[in-house]
Structure 1
Amino acid sequence: MIIYIFILLLFLFVTIINIFTMPRLKKAVENESSKVSFLIPMRNEEKNVKGVIDSVLRSDYLNREVIVLNDQSEDRTAEILSSYGDSIKVMNGRPLPENWVGKVHACHQLSKEANGDFLCFVDADLRLDQRAVSRALYLLKKKNAALITGFPKFPAHSFLAKLLVPLQHFFVFFHLPNFMANYTTLPAFTAAHGAFMLFEKEAYFKSSGHESVKSSLVEDIHITRHLKSEGYTCILSNVSSHITCDMYETNSEVWEGFSKNIFTGLGRNVPAAVAVSVFYLCFYFLPLPLAITGILVENYMWIVPLMIVFLQVFVIDLSTGQTKFHFLYMPLSAVALVILLLASMRKSLTGKGYTWKGRTYN
């Protein structure tokens, strides 16, 4: 038990170090001579059109253009976009070519229309505060980087969303050595969130942009790795105080959204998936039955592992502005993660493919 507790304390220490070494958006750029192109792909986003467009138009960075691609939406997306008149430019997406993923193809088309010095790709479910882009641009220029990205604050509504969506912060602050991610160009140390990616335009096109990852279901990670392999610096920042992303509304959306990403994100590696499953069950679910047993037999040292797990998740939630009591879900989150990962692996290995936004990908 002592060794088990020591390992969990080590995990907590690593997490705290990562929290303090990840840069935040603190200072805004003063010179607006550089133009920023806000590029927003949309497919059946009638619920999000107004929220994302309004947040972009409220940005305090005024040297900008806003281009939206309507990717063959079947709802009221086009109608709502038309109400913005000349304040935005609307493109109609072309049919999806073979071997391209829908969002990647949409981003590729948007990049071809952009006139800015910097390309800011924004998902429809993202909300930017007024200072987000001016501060992100300052950090990008300060670090002489080709890309800045980060994981937003995640509101969670459905039960599965509460269990799984905020885990994205946990993965980044625990598993990724942030110093290596931000101060080396080693592709292995990479994380990115596709909902917010701000590129320096020249670096983006020199590295072939989204075309270089046209068939990827985790294009955010793959395009960042590709940039690093070309020698470019990519910055992962804690953007949660300035950016919010309401990713999924329903349990089914959570399941479908993460199913297409999680096994793919592990490189479709079966041993890695099994190892991750065993790891999370041993270190993030097991403390719960241990604590219950400890209470029943009055051996209170058995409660300590669960307290450390709760503390580890709590400090991450505190750093990212997540719900106060989210940390209490962690043992259930670990189980849900394992079930999701195994289901995602099964879909991949049986060739059933993943369905998203009405399209199926193999």
Structure 2
Amino acid sequence: MIWILSIMMIIGIIIFLDTWRGIQTVLPLSAVEPLANDEKVSVIIAARNEEKSVEMTMLSLLNQTHSELELIVVNDRSTDATGLIINKLARRHERMVPIHIETLPSGWLGKNHALYKGYQVASGSFLLFADADIHFEKDTISKALTYMKAQTVDHVTIAPDLQAKGFWLQAFISYFLYGFSVFKRPWTANHDHSRKGGMGIGAFNLIKRDVYEQIGTHEGIKNRPDDDLKLGQVIKQNGYKQRFLSGVNQLWVEWYPSLKEAIKGLEKNTFAGFNYSLAVTVFAITTILISHFLPIFTLFSTDYAVQLLSAIFLIIFLALYGVTIVKMSSYSLWKLVVYPITTTIFLYSTIRAVALTYIKGGIEWRGTFYSLKELRGKQHQ
């Protein structure tokens, strides 16, 4: 047991140091001083059954201080009032371009197809792909464009503040952010010397138009439910420069209204996050079980050395968890104390998502079913 805990402690220290160094490169967008810029930005939003949030999002975009902006909102086969809301605002704002999609071509996921159709009518030299439920502070685009040009990069992606009501939903989101940070290492987007890694966040993907076209547009990732992440990775793999920033105090979203909805919502892209590999999924689950629970039990060992190693590992783990919460959210550190419970919930949601994907033979996303065979089809290289 001492050898196992010693190895775990060494690995824990390596991961902590990697995370600490990486997360220092994740700058807050709020720290950027915006400058006037005449570059045209085409904001492209895909909306399907978003009647509760799409108007708020559109108004926050139309209120941006960056004047050279067009807003393209794509109504993707909505069955609620989304289309009516889009048309109403488009009649009042000439900078809005409404698009209504009635059918989905074979081989495409709905959101990816909608974003691609928006790009086809966009006239800006910069494209901003965003979600239909994000609230933007009025200088968000101006700050992002200022930073992008100052850093001479091709792509800027920003993590929004994930707002939530209730202790347990906040605790679950905190754990998700920790797991996402450690597993995906989003700060690799800020490493110009490597083509590995990369990051893209659906809330805010700002990219030069010519770069987007050169990497194959959304047509190259048309069957990926994690299209935002994959877009960032493809940009990185093709040698273009990108930056990942924190959007706390600049853009926010109510990720899910409840813990139940969060677990259900993760059905669509959990398995995609493991590249649809059962082996990778099992490895990840096993690693979490050992690293998160074993030290708790061995902390009560009668062997002093085992107790000491367990305590050191738990301190390293909690420090790692705390660093990600502070940097990536506005939540308090009190969410740390219930990590065994949130870990259990996360493992349940992961196993549930993968099992349902196999049982159903695919995923259902916003009213459309996509087969596992289709999702595992040829990906953009």
TM-score for both structures, normalised by structure 2: 0.84
Q: Tell me the amino acid that sits aligned with residue 365 of structure 2.
A: W
Residue 190 of structure 1: how far off its partner (Å): 2.2
Pairing 1:359–2:368 present:
yes
Q: Tell me the amino acid that sits aligned with residue 138 of structure 1.
A: T
Q: Is the 8 A contact 2:195 2:238 kept in 1?
A: no
The residue aligned with 1:231 is: 239
Q: Per-residue CA shift, 1:298-356, capped at 9, x if unaligned? A: x9745554444333222221122332122233222322222222233323444531112
Pairing 1:127–2:135 present:
yes
Q: Per-residue CA shift, 1:201-251, capped at 9, x if unaligned? A: 111122221111111111112222222333222222222331212222234
Say which is worse superposed, 176-185 or 221-230, in terms of deviation.
Answer: 176-185
Q: Tell me the amino acid that sits aligned with residue 104 of structure 1.
A: N
1:339 pairs, out of 342, 345, 348, with: 348
Pairing 1:16–2:20 present:
yes
Q: Is the 8 A contact 1:126 1:245 kept in 2?
A: yes
Residue 289 of structure 1: how far off its partner (Å): 4.2
TM-score for both structures, normalised by structure 1: 0.88
1:189 pairs, out of 178, 192, 197, with: 197
SS in 2 for 1:190: coil
Alpha-carbon separation, structure 1, partners of 2:164 and 2:301: 32
Q: Per-residue CA shift, 1:171-214, capped at 9, x if unaligned? A: 45434456643224755412321121111111112222111111
Q: Is the 8 A contact 2:34 2:146 kept in 1?
A: yes
Q: Tell me the amino acid that sits aligned with residue 62 of structure 1.
A: S
Pairing 1:74–2:79 present:
yes
SS in 1 for 2:52: coil
Alpha-carbon separation, structure 2, partners of 1:269 and 1:23: 33
Alignment of 1:136-147 (within 5 A): 136-147=144-155
1:50 pairs, out of 28, 47, 55, with: 55
Q: Which structure 1 residue ranges, 5 or more long, are not aligned? A: none
Residue 29 of structure 1: how far off its partner (Å): 4.3
SS in 1 for 2:160: coil
Alpha-carbon separation, structure 2, partners of 1:123 and 1:129: 15
Q: Is the 8 A contact 2:36 2:66 kept in 1?
A: no
The residue aligned with 1:279 is: 287
Residue 159 of structure 1: how far off its partner (Å): 7.2
Alpha-carbon separation, structure 1, partners of 2:118 and 2:86: 16
Alpha-carbon separation, structure 1, partners of 2:312 and 2:153: 42
Say which is worse superposed, 314-323 or 262-271, in terms of deviation.
Answer: 314-323
Q: Is the 8 A contact 1:18 1:174 kept in 2?
A: no
Residue 290 of structure 1: how far off its partner (Å): 4.7
Q: Is the 8 A contact 2:298 2:307 kept in 1?
A: no
Alpha-carbon separation, structure 2, partners of 1:180 and 1:316: 15
Q: Tell me the amino acid that sits aligned with residue 360 of structure 1.
A: F
Alpha-carbon separation, structure 1, partners of 2:194 and 2:350: 26
Aligned length: 359
SS in 1 for 2:266: helix
The residue aligned with 1:33 is: 38
Say which is worse superposed, 56-65 or 348-357, in terms of deviation.
Answer: 348-357
Pairing 1:92–2:100 present:
yes
Residue 261 of structure 1: how far off its partner (Å): 1.0
SS in 1 for 2:331: coil
Say which is worse superposed, 177-186 or 229-238, in terms of deviation.
Answer: 177-186
Q: Is the 8 A contact 2:135 2:252 kept in 1?
A: yes
The residue aligned with 2:177 is: 169
Q: CA 1:209/1:62 → structure 2, altered by over 3 Å: closer, same or farther? A: same
Alpha-carbon separation, structure 1, partners of 2:185 and 2:100: 41
Q: Which structure 2 residue ranges, 5 or more long, are not aligned? A: 372-381
